[in-house]
Structure 1
Amino acid sequence: MADSEDSTTPPAVSWRAILRGTGALPPAKKTGGAPSDPALQLWRNWQANHTQVVALTRQWQRIETQLIHSVGFPQVTIRLSGEEEPKIAHSVDEIEELLADEPEAERETLIAAFDAQQKRWDEAAATLGFDAVDAELRAALDKESDFTASVPTTKAASLPGIAAKLSIVIQLGEPSPKDTEFPWPELRSALADLARLASPEAAISPL
């Protein structure tokens, strides 16, 4: 059943959405077409962007895995005299630093090998659209940082708004939804308490 636009008591499904951070927030009272609770609007904006961050991260990881399997990371292996274990250089600067005391010809050979590997990586990355996805992900992460920075200064006008702010903090900070280390069980319990107080008939169970 659809909720009234004037409803201030969210149904159970909406509260579960806030608790888990995976669904729509309950509708809030509106004034002039804008939500009455800034914290709810912040949550909506943050959640939409966070969903994009998750999707782009997975896409980024898939492409990176393809690149690793097809061409390998841009790097070279350096074996230094007197060292049992080889060193891995991931840039020209690292090569020059590791081989500072070695003959110039050796440095040039390894730099040329690194440049060739970097070129293969760049060409494959361009074909797979890696740079475009990377740019989108960085932009989405910047937006997420901006939304997160707004949490302390955004004043909630309702219990759902308080829950929305707390939900952002929990989603960003907890290592996993069932982490048992302090303070995550306590914060999830507080979030469930907010839901219970705002909607006692919903009988929300803590996560």
Structure 2
Amino acid sequence: MADSEDSTTPTAVSWRAILRGTGTLPSGKRTEGTPSDPALQLWRNWQANHTLVVALTRQWQRIEKKLIHSVGIPEVTIRISGEEEPKIAQSVDEIEELVANEPGIEKEALIAAFDEQQKRWDEAAATLGFGAVDAELRAALGKERDFVASVPKTKAASLPGVAAKLAIVIQLGEPSPTDAEFPWPQLRSALADIARLASPEATISPM
């Protein structure tokens, strides 16, 4: 739903969007194109970035799955004396740590085998554009942390703004939209109360 330039009362659809952590928040009155409530603007900026994080994460996972199926995860298996199960090393540092007290194991051979696997992974990853997606995702996650850090510093100027700040916390923190463990039902209830008080004519449900 498009924002209204003059509306200060959120619609039922807008409030359901806040409760779900998706969609369009009410804009409030604007001055020279700027929302009157900085908390709402923070939510909009965060939501746009969060949508990007979700999309990039899915893309990252798809490429990683292709890499695992095509070349496998770079790792070597090491049998340690006195251990029934072999150990898996996924870095040179792990190899060196595991064989530090195993003079009978050829460390150089293990490192060479790992380096060869890593080289195949890197070549396949470059072909699939994995590095670029990984860099974009890390940047978006960095922005998300910045937005979250801004929540306690941003003063809401309206009940919708308060709801927007609470929606960010809930969406990032709760394991699922129906999680029954404390404090998520309580926070969802508080968010629904804020929505009801700000827009009593709207039909509101927690999720």
Q: Normalised by the shorter chain, which TM-score bucket? A: over 0.9
How large is the RMSD of aligned CA atoms in angstroms?
Answer: 1.5
Residues 104, 122 of structure 1: alpha-carbon distance in 2 compared, 3 angstrom cutoff: farther
Question: Is the counterpart of residue 84 in structure 1 residue 84 in structure 2?
Answer: yes
Alpha-carbon distance between aligned partners in 2 of 1:123 and 1:52, rounded to the nearest angstrom:
26
- Deviation track 1:89-141 (CA, whole Å, cap 9, x = no partner) reads 11111112211234487111111100000001101111111111100000000
Give the drift of 1:33. 1.8
- Deviation track 1:44-84 (CA, whole Å, cap 9, x = no partner) reads 00000000001111111111111111111111000123221
The residue number in structure 1 matching 2:8 is 8
AA matched with 1:65: K
- Identity percentage over the alignment? 84
The residue number in structure 1 matching 2:131 is 131
Secondary structure of 2:153's aligned partner: coil
**Greater mean alpha carbon deviation, residues 142-151 or residues 2-11:** 2-11
AA matched with 2:160: P
Secondary structure of 1:202's aligned partner: coil
The residue number in structure 1 matching 2:141 is 141
Alpha-carbon distance between aligned partners in 1 of 2:188 and 2:64, rounded to the nearest angstrom:
34
Q: How does 1:113-192 map to 2 (within 5 A)?
A: 113-192=113-192
Alpha-carbon distance between aligned partners in 1 of 2:104 and 2:28, rounded to the nearest angstrom:
69
Alpha-carbon distance between aligned partners in 2 of 1:25 and 1:3, rounded to the nearest angstrom:
8
The residue number in structure 1 matching 2:94 is 94
Alpha-carbon distance between aligned partners in 2 of 1:146 and 1:25, rounded to the nearest angstrom:
20
Residues 166, 42 of structure 1: alpha-carbon distance in 2 compared, 3 angstrom cutoff: same
Alpha-carbon distance between aligned partners in 2 of 1:100 and 1:86, rounded to the nearest angstrom:
15
The residue number in structure 2 matching 1:206 is 206
Secondary structure of 2:201's aligned partner: helix
AA matched with 1:169: V
Give the drift of 1:203. 1.7
Which ranges of structure 2 fall in alignment gaps of 5 or more residues?
A: none
Task: With the length of structure 2 as denominator, give the TM-score of the two structures.
Answer: 0.96
Residues 3, 41 of structure 1: alpha-carbon distance in 2 compared, 3 angstrom cutoff: closer
Alpha-carbon distance between aligned partners in 2 of 1:4 and 1:154, rounded to the nearest angstrom:
23
Which ranges of structure 1 fall in alignment gaps of 5 or more residues?
A: none
The residue number in structure 1 matching 2:27 is 27
Give the drift of 1:3. 6.2
